[in-house]
C-alpha cells in the first residue's frame, strides 16, 4: 500500500498507546479515521482532538472480544466512508504471573481481547477489503495485527500473554499466505514490539466485569506486574517511533515489524534450540540480575523470608 491520502483506516485500541499514535500518523497522511476502544473518555478525547485538526474521524465504543461489536464497527465504517483500506487489529491487554496461577477469567480476558479481537477483525474486515478489490482494479489495502516479541519467545511469568501473542503471529502468517494464494491486493504485517512505553501495563483499568478478578493477585502476579511496569516505563523506543516505522513497513510491503531488532537474538536462539532438539535455555542467562530480581520480588510479595 503506497497511497494513504483520503484512504480509510480502522484502528482498534485507538484511544491510547500505539493505537493513538497510529491515528496521529494516519491523520498526518490525510487519511479518514475510524477509532475503536473500550475507554469512552479517552476515545472521545482522541476524536475531539483529531476532529479539531480538520481530520475526518468517527469513534465507536467496541469490545473486540465480541464479534457483534466488531461487525457493528465495520458497518459504521462502511456507512460513514463507504470503504476500508487499512486495518490495525491493535487492541491488547496483559496479565502475568506463574502460568498455573492464572484464573479462567484471566485466560478469557486476555485471549478474548488479544486473540479473538484479531480473529474478529480479520474475518470481518478482510471480506470487505476483498469485495472492494473485486470492484476496483486499483484498490490496495493492508492489515496490521499487533503481536509482540512475546509472540516469538517465551519469558517466565508471562504465560497467558505469551500464548495470546504466539497465536496472533500464527494467525497473521497464515493470513499473509492465504491472501498471497488468492493473489489479493492486500498486504499484511505483524507488529512485534518489545518494551515500549504505553498503557498496556495498566490495561487492567479497563477489565470488564464479566472477567473481573475474583480474588486478589498472587505474589507472582504482583511481581510480574512490577517488573513489566519497570521495563515498559524505561523503554527507549517510543510509541511514536513504532508508529512511524510501522507505516514505513506498510509502504514497503514488509511483513515482520520489530521495534527492537536486537531482541531477535532471543528468537534465533529459540529456533536453534528447536532444530537441535535442545531444552529451552534460561532467557535471563545474560541478565541474571533480572531473574534474581524477579525471584526476590516474588518472595517479597509473598511475605516469604529473604535468604
**Under 8 Å between Cβ of 97 and 220:** yes
Q: Please state the φ and ψ torsions of residue 99, each to the nearest 5 degrees.
A: -60, -30
- Give the closest residue to 246 by CA, choosing from 89, 113, 119, 129: 89
Burial track 147-166 (b if 16+ CB lie within 10 A, e otherwise): bbbbbbbbbbbbbbbbbbbb
Residue 256 bears catalytic tag: no
| Per annotation, catalytic residue among 161, 176, 256, 258 | 161
Query: How far is 219 from 52, CA to CA, in rounded Å?
Result: 46
**Under 8 Å between Cβ of 127 and 74:** no
Query: How far is 147 from 114, CA to CA, in rounded Å?
Result: 8
* Residues identified as active-site: 161
Amino acid at each position: 500500500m503506497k497511497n494513504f491520502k483520503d484512504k480509510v483506516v480502522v484502528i482498534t485500541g485507538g484511544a491510547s498507546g500505539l493505537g493513538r499514535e497510529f491515528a496521529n500518523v494516519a491523520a498526518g497522511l490525510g487519511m479518514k479515521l475510524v477509532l475503536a476502544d473500550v475507554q469512552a473518555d479517552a476515545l472521545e478525547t482522541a476524536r475531539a482532538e483529531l476532529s479539531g485538526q480538520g481530520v475526518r474521524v468517527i469513534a465507536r465504543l467496541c469490545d473486540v472480544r465480541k464479534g457483534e461489536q466488531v461487525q457493528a464497527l465495520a458497518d459504521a465504517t462502511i456507512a460513514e466512508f463507504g470503504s476500508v483500506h487499512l486495518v490495525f487489529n491493535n487492541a491488547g491487554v496483559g496479565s502475568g504471573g506463574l502460568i498455573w496461577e492464572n484464573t479462567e477469567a484471566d485466560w478469557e480476558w486476555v485471549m478474548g481481547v488479544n486473540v479473538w479481537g484479531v480473529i474478529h477483525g480479520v474475518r470481518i474486515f478482510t471480506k470487505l477489503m476483498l469485495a472492494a478489490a473485486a470492484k476496483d482494479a486499483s484498490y490496495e489495502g493492508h492489515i496490521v495485527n499487533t503481536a509482540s516479541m512475546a509472540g516469538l519467545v517465551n519469558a517466565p511469568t508471562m504465560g497467558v500473554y505469551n500464548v495470546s501473542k504466539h497465536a496472533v503471529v500464527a494467525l497473521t502468517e497464515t493470513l499473509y499466505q492465504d491472501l498471497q494464494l488468492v493473489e489479493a491486493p492486500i498486504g499484511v504485517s505483524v507488529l512485534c514490539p518489545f518494551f515500549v512505553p504505553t498503557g498496556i501495563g495498566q490495561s487492567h483499568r479497563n477489565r470488564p466485569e464479566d472477567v473481573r478478578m475474583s480474588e486478589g493477585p498472587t505474589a507472582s502476579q504482583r511481581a510480574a506486574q512490577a517488573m513489566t511496569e519497570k521495563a515498559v516505563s524505561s523503554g527507549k523506543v517510543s510509541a511514536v517511533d513504532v508508529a512511524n516505522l510501522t507505516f514505513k513497513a506498510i509502504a514497503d510491503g514488509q511483513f515482520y515489524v520489530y521495534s527492537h531488532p536486537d531482541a531477535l537474538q532471543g528468537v534465533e536462539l529459540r529456533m536453534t534450540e528447536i532444530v537441535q532438539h535442545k531444552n529451552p535455555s534460561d532467557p535471563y542467562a545474560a541478565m541474571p540480575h533480572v531473574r534474581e530480581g524477579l525471584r526476590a520480588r516474588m518472595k517479597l510479595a509473598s511475605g516469604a523470608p529473604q535468604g
